[in-house]
């Protein structure tokens, strides 16, 4: 991945997360709760670490952590839920080719932990998000 591509890649990923990343079906996970989430990204070959991003979001219950997004040409191609754990795969087709995001989200009480691997035409990256439910919206 080229340094000049980094702002574009990060922008697309953050926009995608903002539009598509919501906790999965566990009743403890959402249903109109405010969450604080901290996200870190690691990009192999980058000379510096990306600073973590922290955001608060009121989230509603969704069937899967990601939903299809026609604006981003993204679709969920695999999802498996077992207890409080959701495994999923999201595929996006863009001008630089196909990118795939595979991840696992685990809920424990009022916390969540998500690990994502991104592979695509511009390289690979790892994303880690932790979250804590703060209370009702």
**Stated pTM of the model:** 0.71
Supply the range of the domain harboring residue 19: 3-136
What's the pLDDT band for 114 if we cut at 50, 70, 90?
very high
Side by side, the strands of the sheet bearing 111-120 are 53-59, 33-42, 123-136, 111-120, 97-108, 85-94, 74-82
Q: Could you read off the pLDDT of 35-94 as tens digits, one per residue?
A: 899 999 999 988 888 899 999 988 765 434 455 555 668 888 888 989 889 898 989 888
Q: Helix, strand, or coil here: 20?
A: helix
Structure tokens at 89: 């795969």
Number of domains in the chain: 1
Q: Could you read off the pLDDT of 4-48 as tens digits, one per residue?
A: 444 444 444 544 444 344 444 444 444 578 889 999 999 998 888
- The arithmetic mean of pLDDT across residues 123-129, rounded, is 92
CB 84 within 8 A of CB 28: yes
Helices (H), 88-134: none
Average pLDDT of the chain, as a whole number: 75
Q: What is the pLDDT of residue 16?
A: 44
Widest CA span in the chain: 42
Backbone angles phi, psi at 123, to 5 degrees: 125, -160
Q: Give the residue among 34, 87, 35, 38 at the shortest CA–CA distance from 64.
A: 87
H/E run at residue 15? helix 6-20
Helices (H), 1-137: 6-20
């Amino acid at each position: 991945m080229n340094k000049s591509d980094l702002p574009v890649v990060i922008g697309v990923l953050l926009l995608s997360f903002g539009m598509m990343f919501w906790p999965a079906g566990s009743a403890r996970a959402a249903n109109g709760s405010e969450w604080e989430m901290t996200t870190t990204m690691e990009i192999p070959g980058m000379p510096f670490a990306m600073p973590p991003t922290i955001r608060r979001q009121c989230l509603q219950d969704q069937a899967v952590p990601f939903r299809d997004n026609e604006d981003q040409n993204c679709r969920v191609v695999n999802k498996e839920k077992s207890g409080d754990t959701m495994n999923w795969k999201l595929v996006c087709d863009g001008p630089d080719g196909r990118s795939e995001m595979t991840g696992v989200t685990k809920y424990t009480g009022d916390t969540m932990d998500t690990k994502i691997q991104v592979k695509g035409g511009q390289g690979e990256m790892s994303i880690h998000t932790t979250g804590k439910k703060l209370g009702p919206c």
